[in-house]
Amino acid sequence: MNAPIKEVLDLLDLEAIEVNIFRGTSPSDRWQRVFGGQVLGQALVAASRTVEDRIAHSLHAYFIRPGDPRVPILYEVDRSRDGKSFTTRRVVAIQHGEQIFNMAVSFQVAEEGLEHQISMPIVPPPEDLESENDRRVRLSAQLPEEQRHWFTQPRPIEVRAVIDDDDVLNPPKHPPFQHVWLKASGEIPSALSLHQCVLAYASDMTLLDTCLRPHGISWFSGRLQSASLDHAMWFHHPFRADEWLLYAQDSPCASAGRGFNRGSLFTREGKLVASVAQEGLIRLREPAKSE
């Protein structure tokens, strides 16, 4: 199995330390804060471990404090309700005795019903786009030496942008839309719940970028303080996270130091399998004053 995706699957394989309490770890190379997608995926794993014969259909989460990658995260699951059709769980993630994250998850028994969906955008297939590894290697020369190693590391989720910019440090301004293809970089075991957890992990990638596109601000500029504030997902149909999915994203609004973003995830055949919404902090720092 591809090493980067194996590391993600290992992160999602939480340790059960008591009834309804699980422990997760972070990658050793995280030096600043825990990746939000990791906490989303691990919390969904914790909730799913307390449910049988039902599949998650929605989650709503808040990021409360930055996660510390140096210490484990405890996930405590509250079994809020077990109904005839729906099951509800609440998960609290704790570090240093404080909540860093909480999430509500709803599960449902399999059921038939009315169906409709929006159409998938018409975009080139992923095979016609530059691979993420090739792009990162090509663009890494623009970055300071200390950032190149991180930028060119193999990724557990491969992302191929439909329209990409060659200027990493000073990107041009664009309308608040972007389309990317993404998939796990290696095969994942077949359980749908695991594919949902991997997609939850991946859904926090690129989404916050969307609200920056109209402003032409680079993550590498040093001007930006950013973080995910909340995150919601709805799962509509079964899918595989190790097959290409189109992540169609838009940002309807940014205001008050926050950017609001939405995403729709489609299979190659055009089936809408999941929807995402997120608000993130996009606060501009004052430029450093010269002596």
Task: Note every long-range contact of 121-124, with CB atoms under 8 Å and residues 24 or more positions apart, other chains counting.
Answer: 121/179, 121/246, 121/248, 123/162, 123/179, 123/246, 124/162
Catalytically active residues, by annotation? 204, 228, 278
Q: Read off the amino acid at residue 16.
A: A
φ, ψ at 48 (rounded to 5°): -65, -30
Q: Which residues, in sequence order, are CB contacts of 96 under 8 Å at separation 6+?
A: 68, 71
What tokens does 237 get? 């149909």
Rounded CA-CA distance 51/198 in Å is 18
